[in-house]
Structure 1
Amino acid sequence: MKILALDASTDALSAALFDSDAPERAREIFEVAPRAHATRLLPAVQTLLDEHGLRLRDLDGIAFARGPGAFTGLRIAAGLVQGLAGGVNRPVVGISTLAALAARAFEQTPAATYVQVVQDARMGEIYTATFERGAMPEPVAEERVIAPADLRVELGAGVCRAGNGWSLVVAAQNVGEAPVAVDAPHAIDVARLAWPLFAAGQGMPAASAVPVYVRDDVARKPGAGKS
């Protein structure tokens, strides 16, 4: 099963090509390119397809990091996925950005049983969720957006940290710094998490490729109250 995956949910962007028949040959293009997602993402896709001698119609599905994350980046990725998948009538799967971070953190930290993910949500807030190790990262609580000072920091030898928002928590609370296993999501992890969903027939129509913001009002001014 050949899967194309995209991520544009942070200042980084990435595209990946994954083949379940040859997972060791998975290929990813990853770069930190703030405000360049609209111009860099599609060429990265074309590069991957050209390298493998593939066309869009040769793919079995297209996956994307559906959020939470940067508003503009999420919209760019979702719109691109809709166009690519709709043009060749291929199914899509959206994967949580936080779950993708957790998956990489588990891979890089074999002793960890839990990963607490904290992403900078801007406007003085963070996106967060804690995941338990499993065949796929399992959230132990719903993804949410909160103030850094309100985060309950999970401690213990079996817990590791992931995400680019931990400096905000350290600054807001009297907690010590600790290593962060990974700070940016990668499209290759999105592809790997999407593969069993595609294989189980859980792919959705292209029009279903929509962002999940978690924050209800993405245009709310900093410090403004929430309903």
Structure 2
Amino acid sequence: MPTLLALDASSTACSVALWHQPAGRDADVVARFVEAPREHTRRLMPMVDEVLAEAGVALADLDALAYGHGPGSFTGLRIAAGTAQGLAYGLGKPLLGVSTLAALALAGHRRLHLRYVLPALDARMGEIYVGAYRCQDGELTSLAAEAVMPPERLTLPPGHEEADWVGVGSGWTLWPSMNANLQAGISQHLDDWQPAAEELVRLAAQRYAAGERTAPAQAQPVYLRDQVAWQKSR
């Protein structure tokens, strides 16, 4: 099993997680999560040191690094990507960028055994970042492309309207602005959840096992708003 380190700073929280397999034991995750608005730069590396020390793992033992590539806070995404990129360059290790929306969906599946999850993050400017996932046995299937949109435009994925959908993430604080048809299809919404490295590292481990690798030079935050602007300018 690989030894992976994941970093996330996509929201007001800051988190780090290590995936490793001690000798003779199942794979384990050591994680730290703290609310730290505007303190991500100061907090990330001490948290890395903490999880490595707790697990008895050295930086040189890592097989790869992962980071929350977005969507999320513009500044936070750059901090996580830059920190992971710097470590990867120094160690000569590959990188894996992981969706923060997918991490929220996995959190809902792991904590509450949710099957159909609509992760949404507050994108400011009256918009949300949103995705749609079916979750089963720790695996995620995307049912709609991740997008940024006004909350009133959000709909359930076609063909899956009758599923038991649950919304998670800060985007659901905009519930009053969402359309009535959508609200009728949501059994509950949990708007105080934030992306966390604990889920990022689990998703990264799945992808690493499938053979995915990215060179450090290719580390890129995902700014969905940039993609929309580019498409409109074509």
Deviation beyond 4 Å, 4+ runs, structure 1: 20-24, 153-157
Q: CA contact under 8 A between 2:121 and 2:170: conserved in structure 1?
A: yes
Contact 1:118–1:164 (8 Å) recurs in 2: yes
Greater strand share, structure number: 2
Indicate the SS of the match to 2:121. Answer: strand
Aligned AA (2:204): A
The 8 Å contact of residues 102 and 117 in structure 1, kept in 2 or not, is answered as yes
Separation of aligned partners in 2, 1:50 and 1:167: 37
Residue 31 (structure 1) aligned to one of 29, 34, 52:
34
Q: SS in structure 1 opposite 2:199?
A: helix
Q: Please say if residues 31 and 198 of structure 2, whose CA atoms lie closer than 8 Å, have aligned partners that are also in contact.
A: yes
- What's the CA shift string for 1:181-226, capped at 9, x where partnerless? 86111101111111122123211111122101111179x9xxxxx6
Distance in 2 (CA, whole Å) between partners of 1:12 and 1:85 is 23
Return the alpha-carbon distance in structure 2 between the equivalents of residues 73 and 18 of structure 1. 22
Q: Which has the higher helix share?
A: 2
Identify unmatched segments of 5+ residues in structure 2.
none
Matched, 1:197 2:207: yes
Distance in structure 2 (CA, Å) of the matches to 1:61 and 1:103? 21
Give, in whole Å, the separation in 1 of the partners of 2:26 and 2:167.
26
CA distance, structure 2, for counterparts of residue 18 and residue 11 of structure 1 = 23
Q: Please give the per-residue CA displacement for 1:69-117, whole angstroms capped at 9, x wherever unaligned.
A: 100000000000110011011111111100000011111232x331011
Instruction: Output the amino acid matched with 1:189.
Output: E
Tell me: CA distance 1:94–1:184, structure 2 relative to 1, closer, same or farther (3 Å). Answer: same
1:78/1:209 contact within 8 Å kept: yes
How many residues align structurally?
A: 220
For 1:132, the equivalent position in structure 2 comes to 134
Distance 1:170 1:153, change over 3 A: farther
Structure 1 stretch 128-137 or stretch 56-65: which is displaced more?
128-137
Q: TM-score, normalised by structure 2?
A: 0.85
Alignment of 1:204-223 (within 5 A): 204-216=214-226
2:172 corresponds to which of 160, 166, 169: 166
Secondary structure of residue in 2 paired with 1:79 = helix
State the distance in 2 between where 1:191 and 1:23 align: 15
Amino acid at match of 1:138: T
Contact in 2 for aligned 1:108/1:181 (Cα 8 Å) = no
**5+ residue gaps, structure 1:** 221-225
Cα deviation per residue 1:133-176 (whole Å; 9 max; x = unaligned)? Answer: 24521111100000011112576562111111112132454447
Shift in alpha-carbon separation, 1:157–1:182, aligned structure 2, 3 A: farther
Q: 2:13 maps to which residue?
A: 12
> Among the aligned pairs, what percent are the same residue?
41
Q: Show CA shifts across 1:4-47 (max 9, x none).
A: 01111111110011114555641111011111111111111112
